């Protein structure tokens, strides 16, 4: 049994778990996620950028929340993640951290805030940790090993991110699956570089399922897949994608678990119709 194992009182709950009945995990730490890999427990991560979704996802049993640079497209209305800044992400990180009790809060380092070298990465990561993050995420494999090492040496847990890295979309040449043919060895080398530099987990984005499965087998740290097949230790999705808030055709790797856009649109139309018809507010909504 590992440090995060449960001590269930009855046989019914005898499954060690990050969340759920009998768990002893009060605040999810990076070591709990590594323990989960050892015992083969899969877990789900979601993005969150505000207090209501953060509290809701925390209560629903999501052990890690990411304030992704995907806030660029999903909060700020930018076309790509390259445009969002540290100053725009910091308040979102603070809001999510303030609104959760158990989940591990991971802040994404945006484009331009860490590539110059370990000193720049450390300065940026410290700002996110002071805002309330418990860990940071950054994109890049071997080319970012020095940055990852500098942060972990300073006591800042790092989640790596390799495969398709959206901040490099212009040099990669668009949204392209990574790891086919000769590229497979490159991705595996990146995964090892990230783990060897001290990262506690690594996101594998749009990596072929077979390469993701092989990396998951080889690494001692959890792999978090997005478009990387079913065999990674964990999965991550942008919450607006999985809940159907964002319109348009979702990427192939997204599964929509709800149609929030229709629900919200229906509610808003009903409200507007009732105001136009003089039905809202009714007597009970007013004061005498």
Residues tagged active-site: 205
| Residue 277: partners with Cβ closer than 8 Å, 6 or more residues away | none
Least distance from ligand KIV to the Cβ atom of residue 205, Å: 6
Q: Consult the annotation and say whether 288 binds a ligand.
A: no
Q: Which residue has the tokens 């595996």?
A: 188
Nearer to ligand KIV, 92 or 213 (CB): 92
Nearer to ligand KIV, 6 or 131 (CB): 131
Give residue number: closest CB to ligand KIV: 68
Alpha carbon 49 to its chain centroid, in Å, reads: 11
Helix/strand/coil (H/E/C) assignment for every residue in 230-263: CCCCEEEECHHHHCCCCCCCCCCCCCCCCCHHHH
Q: Radius of gyration of the chain from Cα atoms? A: 20
Nearer to ligand KIV, 69 or 214 (CB): 69
Q: Consult the annotation and say whether 214 binds a ligand.
A: no
Least distance from ligand KIV to the Cβ atom of residue 139, Å: 8
Nearer to ligand KIV, 23 or 92 (CB): 92
Within 10 angstroms of residue 117's Cβ, the number of other Cβ atoms is 11
Q: Consult the annotation and say whether 14 binds a ligand.
A: no
Q: Consult the annotation and say whether 70 binds a ligand.
A: yes
Query: Rounded CA gap, 222 and 191, in Å?
Result: 11
Cβ atoms 207, 178 nearer than 8 A: yes
Residues lying near ligand KIV in the complex (CB under 6 A):
47, 66, 68-70, 108, 203, 205, 226, 236, 238
Least distance from ligand KIV to the Cβ atom of residue 92, Å: 11
Binding region for 3-methyl-2-oxobutanoate: 69-70, 108, 137
Binding region: 69-70, 108, 137, 139
């Amino acid at each position: 049994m590992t440090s995060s194992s449960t001590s269930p009182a009855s046989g019914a709950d005898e499954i060690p778990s990050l969340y759920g009945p009998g768990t002893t995990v009060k605040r999810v730490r990076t070591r709990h996620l590594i323990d989960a890999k050892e015992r083969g427990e899969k877990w789900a991560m979601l993005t969150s950028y505000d207090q209501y979704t953060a509290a809701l996802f925390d209560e629903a049993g999501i052990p890690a929340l990411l304030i992704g640079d995907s806030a660029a497209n999903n909060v700020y209305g930018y076309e790509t993640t390259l445009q969002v800044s540290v100053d725009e992400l910091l308040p979102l990180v603070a809001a999510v951290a303030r609104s959760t009790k158990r989940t591990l809060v991971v802040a994404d380092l945006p484009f331009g805030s860490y590539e110059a070298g370990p000193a720049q990465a450390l300065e940026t990561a410290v700002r996110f940790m002071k805002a309330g993050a418990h860990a940071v995420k950054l994109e890049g494999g071997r080319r970012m090993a020095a940055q990852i090492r500098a942060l972990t040496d300073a006591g800042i847990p790092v989640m790596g991110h390799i495969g398709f890295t959206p901040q490099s979309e212009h040099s990669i040449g668009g949204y392209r699956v990574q790891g086919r043919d000769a590229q497979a060895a490159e991705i595996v080398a990146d995964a090892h570089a990230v783990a060897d530099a001290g990262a506690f987990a690594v996101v594998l984005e749009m990596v072929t399922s077979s390469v993701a499965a092989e990396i998951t087998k080889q690494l001692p740290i959890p792999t978090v897949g997005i478009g990387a097949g079913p065999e990674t230790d964990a999965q991550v999705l942008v919450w607006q994608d999985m809940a159907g808030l964002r319109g348009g055709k979702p990427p192939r790797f997204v599964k929509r678990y709800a149609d929030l856009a229709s629900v919200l649109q229906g509610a808003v139309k009903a409200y507007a119709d009732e105001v136009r018809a003089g039905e809202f507010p009714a007597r009970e909504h007013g004061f005498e």
